[in-house]
Amino acid sequence: MKSSYRAVVIGGGVVGASVLYHLAKFGWSEIALVERAELTAGSTWHAAAGFHALNGDPNVAALQDYTIKLYKQIEAESGQNVGLHMTGGVNIATAPGRWEQLKSNWATFKAIGVETARLMSPDEVREITGGVIRTDDVLGGLYDSNEGYLDPYGATHAYVGAARKRGADVILRNRVLELKQRGDGTWDVITEQGTIHTEHVVNAGGLWAKQCGHMAGVDLPVTPMEHHYLITDTVEGLKSLPGELPMVVDLDGFTYTRQERDGLLLGVYERNPQHWRMDGAPWDYGMDLIPENLDRIGKELAIGFDRFPELAHVGIRKWVNGAFTFSPDGNPLVGPVGPRGYWVACGVMAGFSQGGGVGKSLAEWMIHGQPEADVYGMDIARFGLHQSNKEYIRQMTAQFYARRFVMTYPNEELPAGRPLRTPGAYADMSAAHCRWGNSWGMEVPLYFAPNADFEEPGTLRRSAAFPIIADECAAAQNAAGLLDISGFSRYRVTGPGAKAWLDRLLACTLPAPGRIKLAPMLAHDGRLKGDLTCFNWGDGSYWLMGSYYLRAYHMRWFNDHTAPDVHVEDISDAMSGFALHGPKAREILERISDTDLSGLRMMHCTTADLGLHRAHVGRLSLSGELAYEITAPASEHAQLRRLLLAAGADLGLREIGFNAMLSMRLEKSIGIWNAEFTQGYTPAETGLDRWIAWDKGDFIGKAAAQGAPAPTRLLSMLEIDTDGADCRGFEPVWSGDEIVGITTSGGYGHRLNRSFAMALIDRAHSAEGSALSVHVLGEKRTAKVIAMSPYDPEGARMKA
């Protein structure tokens, strides 16, 4: 063991081994992995070690595909056999809704370039499984040849062996006791065998990630949970198969299965999950298992035995109840967090599907400043401090685990971890039958039901709330709609250097005093980093507004580029308010304001007295209607609502939710983050380049964006001939039998009575009038490219 390294990885499971390998592969040689016991001790050694490339997040799916392809490479590099079994795998559906979902999933995989997946008929499922499973109730399956399993010991040692050949050190049987950061930001890693000085520390601690986080003052939203599988004695039916049984996932039965020698491995995701050692595993825990609890998994196990009838006559050779770590949403925790130089790669539940991609992305982040892929779905910044609360973690992880194979719907609202943060008028809005969604812990209004008894069943199609949302859109179009905007982030930027700092951070021209600008923010490689709105209040202070759920993500970026004469403050929970949309909006404000707002033009802002409230008022519109955003201290939220509703009661004002706003923004072709705009896209392909001030001085990402090749796909608008269902995003766009694009978001435009989608489409097919087709719930529907902003294309209504 040397006394100093450039980076130290804590944890010798498959994820830590992958991080070590990728750091070495990308050029760092002075690196070490420190493991308290032996490689694979913890969760890795007892993992079922299945892998698959399919994932609902296209970026994660691409990284899983990378992971699978990597196994043969590390086997060759290291000389260590990984025990690779490429059996293929099939997800089966036994309910009509599930089959509809699998068809939709297949279309998404086609859109993102997964060519190994295909849909199967019940007969095909029966043929590839050789009669080992009961298929009389199977409606179909989604098969992928790029699935299988491997030897967890061999794969981990292959990563480590390949890393060692590139100069990495591996230090076993040496527990990390403490982490101390020096004044220069570097770290002392204090171990049982001595102290190691390093610039970077990576927490890949697995079951011990919580404790390793506390060593750096970081409370991670992760917990171990129990997970069962069993291995049977010989199953005679397997002998008649020409090869190995494919991996079989019975989504409606909560089980997954693969062949294990001449028997079966059957795992269950029970609906009655059990947490284990929420504060982290004991330090002396290693190659250990937890006693099985058959009573708790009995219902799901019975379904599995029914699916595989031969199991009723076969002995069970081994029970495994092992601990795995889970995050609140089941995805990994990756990236920088807490003090400078501290990184995490933990909570990787599907380590053999995702470990390679996690290691690659984190190594790129550490060495180059950001990962190649958009990994927000794994980014630790998707969680805040409030989501490290133990009860929050308990509720959210239990909900995720219990619903791992449960059918989910886009209009479904789940109860765990709620309510946590509520707007000031929450009680009054609930009394008005508000139906709430959730954004980063904040309750946000979706729509207002007609009565307390209204129910909205989960569906993949247009929901029972469809006519309610239509009425809310009509109110905004014909009179006025009042939208709670507590669920937006707000950052106040002040100080002598505020203007210069913002001018470098943002790609737009800064707004003059009393003005507002749409403000793209670029990463150093020229891709998008943010889609913000900048307000200049004229008193030396600026506001940046954006998505509430991106607060930790944005603040990390701001802090990474901080300046001594600039103060950036997250005021999202201190300030809140309402947006007033519609032709009656100005009249409503004039009734309650002593400030003359008649001259406040589009993209201007001011402070104004509204009743008793001293409010910040900005004129901007996401709906395409005349609109004002009104912000006041959060403690005044309830009374501000009452004031506005009373002022507009006789003018047709009604409360609206974000479902209506999303419909209206789509009719205006206004993109949103995590759909049209992501870290993986450039400003040119999304159309955000029109807001960039290329002629101003230097700003972050300018040279890279200017030097980027012309995009092959452009953000376009589609009108779709569909009935009863709409696009949601990530559906393939076709020209004949050729995929020429992918939708970014979609929905129904209630003011125009048409179904729309925004999509990134190949240049050759993006011209107005191009005849295309789009998958909606797995079925091709005709579509055509239309001009952007089909609702009031000249913007006369919002400029009125």
Tokens 């009863």, residue?
724
Q: Sign of the CA dihedral 70, 73, 79, 84?
A: positive
Q: What would the mean pLDDT of 209-223 be, rounded to a whole number?
A: 98
* pLDDT band at residue 55 under the 50/70/90 scheme: confident
The pLDDT of residue 664 is 98
Euclidean distance between CA atoms 516 and 353, whole angstroms:
45
Instruction: Return all residues near 194 (Cβ < 8 A) that are at least 6 apart.
Output: 1, 3
Of 376, 348, 360, 332, the residue nearest 14 (C-alpha): 348
Instruction: Return all residues near 460 (Cβ < 8 A) that are at least 6 apart.
Output: 97, 100, 101, 104, 409, 410, 725, 777
CB 716 within 8 A of CB 741: yes
CB 165 within 8 A of CB 306: no
pLDDT for 230-241, tens place per residue? 999 999 999 999
**Total Cβ atoms within 10 A of residue 638:** 16
Phi, psi of 765, rounded to the nearest 5 degrees: -120, 10
Region of 51 please: left (phi>0), alpha (psi -120 to 50) or beta. beta
Residue 56, pLDDT above cutoff 80: no
Q: What would the mean pLDDT of 138-143 be, rounded to a whole number?
A: 97
Per DSSP, the residues of 405-434 read TS---TT----TT-SSB--TTHHHHHHTTE
Of 677, 665, 578, 673, the residue nearest 622 (C-alpha): 665
Tokens 């925004």, residue?
758
Euclidean distance between CA atoms 355 and 15, whole angstroms:
5
Q: What would the mean pLDDT of 482-500 be, rounded to a whole number?
A: 98
Phi, psi of 561, rounded to the nearest 5 degrees: -120, 30
Q: Which long-range contacts (CB under 8 A, 24 or more apart) does 268-271 make?
A: 268/228, 268/229, 268/297, 268/300, 268/301, 268/304, 269/227, 269/300, 269/401, 269/402, 269/404, 269/405, 270/228, 270/296, 270/297, 270/299, 270/300, 270/402, 271/299, 271/300, 271/402, 271/406
Query: Computed over its alpha carbons, how large is the radius of gyration of the chain?
Result: 27
Beta bridge partners of 739: 734
Q: Which residues of 601-726 form beta strands (DSSP E)?
A: 605-610, 613-618, 627-633, 653-656, 713-720
pLDDT for 279-298, tens place per residue? 999 999 989 999 999 999 99
pTM (predicted TM-score): 0.96
| Number of helices (H), then strands (E), in the chain | 18, 37
* pLDDT band at residue 73 under the 50/70/90 scheme: very high
Euclidean distance between CA atoms 11 and 201, whole angstroms:
11
Structure tokens at 607: 């402070």
pLDDT for 673-690, tens place per residue? 999 999 999 999 999 999
The pLDDT of residue 113 is 86
User: For residue 411, which amino acid is it?
Assistant: N
- Lay out the sheet containing 653-656: strands in order across: 605-610, 613-618, 627-633, 575-581, 480-484, 653-656
The pLDDT of residue 150 is 97
pLDDT for 701-757, tens place per residue? 999 999 999 999 999 999 999 999 999 999 999 999 999 999 999 999 999 999 999
Euclidean distance between CA atoms 548 and 552, whole angstroms:
9
Euclidean distance between CA atoms 216 and 135, whole angstroms:
52
Euclidean distance between CA atoms 2 and 72, whole angstroms:
31
Residue 351, pLDDT above cutoff 80: yes
pLDDT for 649-659, tens place per residue? 999 999 999 99
Phi, psi of 273, rounded to the nearest 5 degrees: -70, 165
| In the chain, where the domains are located | 1-415, 488-663, 712-786
The pLDDT of residue 151 is 97
Euclidean distance between CA atoms 347 and 207, whole angstroms:
9
Of 782, 479, 535, 412, the residue nearest 650 (C-alpha): 479
Residue 112, pLDDT above cutoff 90: no
Residue 71, pLDDT above cutoff 90: yes
Structure tokens at 351: 């380590």
The pLDDT of residue 53 is 84
Euclidean distance between CA atoms 727 and 628, whole angstroms:
30
Structure tokens at 180: 């101390």
Residue 54, pLDDT above cutoff 90: no
* pLDDT band at residue 220 under the 50/70/90 scheme: very high
Phi, psi of 614, rounded to the nearest 5 degrees: -95, 105
Euclidean distance between CA atoms 200 and 486, whole angstroms:
38
Q: Which residues of 428-523 form beta strands (DSSP E)?
A: 434-439, 442-448, 480-484, 488-494, 515-522
Per DSSP, the residues of 181-231 read E-TTS-EEEEETTEEEEEEEEEE--GGGHHHHHHTTT---S-EEEEEEEEE
Instruction: Return all residues near 662 (Cβ < 8 A) that are at least 6 apart.
Output: 672, 747
As a whole number, the mean pLDDT across the chain is: 96
* pLDDT band at residue 58 under the 50/70/90 scheme: confident
Could you check whether 1-415 and 488-663 share the same CATH topology?
no
Instruction: Return all residues near 646 (Cβ < 8 A) that are at least 6 apart.
Output: none
Residue 554, pLDDT above cutoff 80: yes
- Residue 510: helix, strand or coil by DSSP? coil
Class assignment of domain 1-415?
alpha beta
Residue 433, pLDDT above cutoff 90: yes
DSSP symbol at 14: H
Euclidean distance between CA atoms 29 and 24, whole angstroms:
6
The pLDDT of residue 57 is 81
The pLDDT of residue 213 is 98
Fold entry, domain 488-663: Gyrase A; domain 2 (3.30.1360)
Per DSSP, the residues of 34-64 read E-SSSTTTTTGGG---EE----SSHHHHHHH
Structure tokens at 413: 């609202």
- Residue 264: helix, strand or coil by DSSP? strand
Structure tokens at 609: 């007295």
**End-to-end C-alpha distance for the chain, whole angstroms:** 72
CB 660 within 8 A of CB 653: no
The pLDDT of residue 1 is 86
CB 95 within 8 A of CB 102: no
* pLDDT band at residue 431 under the 50/70/90 scheme: very high
- CATH number of this structure's domain 712-786: 2.40.30.110
Euclidean distance between CA atoms 107 and 592, whole angstroms:
52
- Alpha helix ranges (H) inside 221-284: none
The pLDDT of residue 778 is 85
